[in-house]
């Protein structure tokens, strides 16, 4: 098996293979080709990859020549897939929502494109859950970034010169990122509160030492999908929750928003009026800025200072701000999935097209988009592989 490790665009410092996973891919029978410089943003040199058993290719096109498996962080450009083997597997964070035209271009190459972010949240797939591994780091980094912008201490300090009060941190959205933000802010000594529309989040927040803030009515008790995601709430509930949150935000030093619903624009949680109610020097960190943002006034890729002296942090690709760690975890997610697609005895590809992990993540196959969520037909995903 020829396996290509792609170099990412300039704005993406992560890489899809670590030294450890290259060794393991070689152990599966893979001939691993790494595009030159692919790991530099994550602190991995070409020599490191060579020491693990990989060969270095000049660029992505050279690495993918004859490749049966292509691994990337972001969805590869179709031009880089021109030389792949017929029916090659391309595995990455494919960002398919609203990008059907780009999916069609990849499909036209004959590649079978898998979206790692569509991995089902079931027990056997936990080790492959890229959303969790990357969101966990984003939640941690959000607190670090907030502390850097805040300019004040987080913990309460009692000194001879006086007492420094603890920072008050409010986390909106208590999923993987939000819970890590709660835990990190608590470790730094802040007084932490959090909110979420999922009832299960209350116990999780409180177990980490945070105070849970929510309108706990009947709609709240039914606000979680079978897959563990938050449901879209009614306008009435949103109004009640907004009133509660507005009074709470005015007392906070730092607000971190993490709310995302797959396939939809990010919900607006913090209005301009709420931002205006905060004290000068307060900080908001919007982790949903790439999907439109949770905070009014957030600008993707920028730190905005409002007229009343509040900073709104809208950094892009927050996991990439911890590239070395993010790449290490993402590479393990990828390897765990690749392992299910290979016959270890024959050391060859052996994709089970009817496997629930394959069916959930497969976007394109045999020249067409096959995922039912993006215009494909359910039966297409189980069609025979391309010759």
Which DSSP helix (H) or strand (E) runs through 361?
A: helix 356-361
How far apart CA 93 and CA 131 sit, in angstroms, is 9
Question: What distances in angstroms separate CA 291 from CA 48, 87, 261, 262, 286, one per listed residue?
Answer: 35, 32, 10, 10, 10
Residue 64: active-site member: no
Give the whole-angstrom CA distance, residue 12 versus residue 16: 11
- 262: helix, strand or coil: coil
Whether residue 133 lies in the annotated active site: no
The SS3 of residue 272 is helix
Strands 191-195 and 211-212: parallel
Catalytic-role residue among 74, 121, 187, 321: 121
The answer to whether 209 and 186 are in contact (CB under 8 A) is: yes
Contact 103, 373 (CB under 8 A): no
Output the furthest CA–CA distance in the chain (Å, rounded). Answer: 77
CA–CA distance, 106 with 79 (Å, rounded to integer)? 9
Set 11, 126, 222, 247: catalytic member: 126
Q: Indicate the SS3 state at residue 58.
A: coil
User: Distance between CA atoms of 249 and 240, rounded to whole angstroms?
Assistant: 14
Name the active-site residue from 50, 124, 222, 229. Answer: 229
165 Cβ contact list (under 8 Å, min separation 6): 156
- Sequence-distant (≥ 6) Cβ neighbours of residue 219 within 8 angstroms: 233, 234, 236, 237
- For residues 309 and 255, give the distance between their C-alpha atoms in angstroms, rounded to a whole number: 14
d(CA 84, CA 81): 6
**From the candidates 18, 132, 204, 327, which is the catalytic residue?**
132
Q: Clarify whether 129 is annotated catalytic.
A: yes
Residues 6+ apart with CB under 8 A from 386: 86, 87, 110, 112, 365, 366, 367
Task: Say if residues 258 and 195 touch (Cβ distance below 8 Å).
Answer: no
CB atoms near residue 140 (< 10 Å) = 21
Q: Which is catalytic among the residues 129, 145, 253, 286?
A: 129
Instruction: Return the DSSP state at 40.
Output: G
Instruction: Name the phi and psi angles at 35, rounded to 5.
Output: -65, 135
Q: Are 358 and 125 in contact (CB under 8 A)?
A: no
Please identify every residue annotated as catalytic: 121, 126, 129, 132, 229
């Amino acid at each position: 098996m020829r396996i290509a490790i792609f170099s990412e665009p300039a704005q993406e410092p992560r890489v899809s293979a670590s030294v450890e996973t290259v060794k393991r891919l070689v152990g599966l029978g893979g001939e691993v080709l790494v595009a030159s410089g692919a790991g530099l943003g994550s602190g991995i040199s070409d020599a490191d990859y060579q020491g693990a058993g990989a060969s270095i290719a000049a660029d992505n096109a050279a690495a993918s020549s004859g490749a049966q498996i292509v691994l990337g962080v972001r969805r590869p450009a179709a031009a880089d897939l021109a030389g792949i083997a017929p029916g090659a597997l391309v595995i990455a964070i494919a960002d398919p929502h609203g990008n059907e035209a780009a999916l069609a271009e990849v499909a036209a190459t004959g590649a079978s494109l898998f979206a790692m972010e569509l991995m089902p949240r079931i027990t056997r797939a936990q080790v492959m859950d890229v959303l969790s591994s990357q969101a966990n780091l984003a939640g941690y980094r959000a607190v670090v970034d907030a502390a850097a912008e805040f300019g004040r201490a987080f913990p309460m300090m009692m000194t001879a010169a006086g007492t420094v009060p603890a920072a008050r941190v409010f986390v909106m959205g208590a999923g993987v990122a939000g819970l890590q933000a709660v835990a990190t802010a608590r470790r730094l000594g802040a007084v932490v509160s959090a909110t979420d529309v999922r009832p299960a989040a209350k116990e999780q927040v409180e177990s980490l030492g945070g105070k849970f803030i929510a309108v706990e009515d009947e709609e709240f008790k039914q606000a979680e999908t079978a897959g563990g995601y938050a449901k879209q709430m009614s306008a009435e509930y949103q109004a009640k929750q907004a009133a509660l949150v507005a009074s709470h935000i005015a007392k906070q030093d730092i607000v971190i928003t993490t709310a995302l619903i797959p396939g939809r624009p990010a919900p607006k949680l913090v209005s301009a009026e709420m931002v205006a109610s905060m004290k000068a020097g307060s900080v908001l960190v919007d982790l949903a800025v790439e999907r439109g943002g949770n905070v009014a006034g957030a600008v993707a890729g920028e730190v905005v200072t409002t007229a009343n002296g509040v900073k709104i942090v809208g950094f892009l690709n927050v996991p990439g701000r911890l590239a070395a760690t993010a790449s290490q975890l993402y590479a393990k997610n990828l390897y765990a999935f690749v392992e299910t697609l290979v016959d270890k005895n024959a050391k060859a590809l052996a994709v089970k097209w009817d496997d629930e992990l394959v069916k959930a993540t497969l976007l394109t196959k045999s020249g067409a988009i096959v995922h039912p969520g993006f215009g494909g037909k359910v039966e297409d995903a189980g069609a025979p592989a391309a010759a």
